[in-house]
């Protein structure tokens, strides 16, 4: 008897590991199944819990393709192999260009960036949103703003930061988010900008 399917349930790319869900097709694990074995990338790992439904594969590399096969073993030996499941581990997205800001007054500031494109920027699509962050330059704690929905038809996107403090310097950053769990890229920190400066300021990488 073989396990017919190995289902990849979710991809947690922020930490570069995959959680695999086993579809055991009616195998009664209480009657002789001793353990399962996962095969991938010239490696095998044993699951000693015969009732296991999940297995986490860690320390994977982004942008690499992995193939997974599973078997189970009884006192009579190892079963046939499951169907092979192949997956390309995505790359977390990030903007490659600079941000620009325009002060409206001493308590609000609008930040603008070029729309993510596959030809210019880093990461694996689909891109679904952007997350704006800001912090006081004297603080280590970033504050998260509301998500900005990605629209590929627009050349730029923007976000208005409110309730800033007059005369205070801030850092601003944008994280790009791809579809799927753990799809938020790492925000890049940009040059600080006084909240009350008038006119347009370019923030360089």
In DSSP terms, which residues pair with 171 in a beta bridge? 135
Task: Name which of 28, 21, 22 is nearest 1 in CA terms.
Answer: 28
CA distance 149 to 37: 42
Dist. CA 195–CA 163, nearest whole Å: 10
Q: Supply the pLDDT for residue 109.
A: 86
Q: What's the pLDDT at 58? A: 79
Beta strand pairing call for 109-114 and 35-40: unpaired
DSSP secondary structure letter of residue 106: S
pLDDT tens for the chain, 205 residues long, are 555 545 444 444 444 566 676 665 556 555 678 888 889 888 888 888 877 777 778 788 878 888 888 888 888 888 888 878 888 788 889 999 889 877 667 788 889 999 999 999 999 899 999 999 999 888 889 999 999 999 999 999 999 999 888 778 888 999 999 987 778 998 877 766 655 555 444 444 4
- Asked if omega into 202 is within 30° of 0 (cis), the reply is no
Residue with tokens 């869900």: 21
What's the fold here for domain 99-203? Answer: Immunoglobulin-like (2.60.40)
CA distance linking residue 187 with residue 159, whole number of Å: 15
Shared fold status for 5-88 and 99-203: yes
Residues 164-203, buried b or exposed e (16+ Cβ, 10 A)? beeeeebbbbbbbbbeeebbbbebeebebbbbeeeeebeb
Query: What does the pLDDT read at residue 12?
Result: 46
Q: In whole angstroms, what separates CA 69 from the centre of its chain?
A: 24
Closest CA to 188 of 68, 98, 78: 98
Whole-number pLDDT of residue 201: 46
- Could you say which architecture CATH assigns to the domain 5-88? Sandwich (2.60)
pLDDT of residue 89: 80
Contacts with 140 (C-beta within 8 Å, 6 or more apart), sequence order = none
Domain residue spans in the chain? 5-88, 99-203
Position 205 scores a pLDDT of 44
């Amino acid at each position: 008897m073989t396990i017919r399917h190995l289902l990849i349930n979710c991809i947690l790319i922020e930490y570069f590991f995959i959680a695999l869900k086993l579809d055991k097709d009616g195998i009664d694990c209480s009657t002789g199944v001793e353990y399962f074995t996962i095969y991938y990338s010239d490696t095998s790992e044993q699951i000693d819990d015969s009732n296991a439904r999940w297995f986490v594969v860690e320390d994977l590399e982004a942008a690499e393709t992995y193939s997974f096969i599973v078997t189970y073993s009884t006192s009579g030996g190892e079963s046939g192999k499951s169907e092979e499941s192949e997956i390309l581990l995505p790359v977390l997205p990030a903007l490659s260009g600079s941000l620009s800001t325009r002060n409206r007054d001493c308590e609000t500031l609008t930040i603008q960036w070029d729309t993510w494109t596959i030809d210019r920027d880093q990461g694996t699509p689909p891109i679904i949103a952007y997350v704006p962050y800001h912090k006081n330059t004297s603080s280590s704690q970033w504050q998260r703003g509301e998500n900005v929905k990605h629209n590929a038809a627009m050349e730029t996107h923007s976000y208005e930061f409110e309730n800033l403090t007059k005369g205070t310097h801030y850092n601003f950053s944008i994280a790009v988010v791809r579809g799927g769990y753990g799809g938020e890229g790492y925000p890049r920190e940009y040059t600080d900008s006084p909240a009350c400066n008038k006119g347009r300021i370019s923030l360089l990488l």
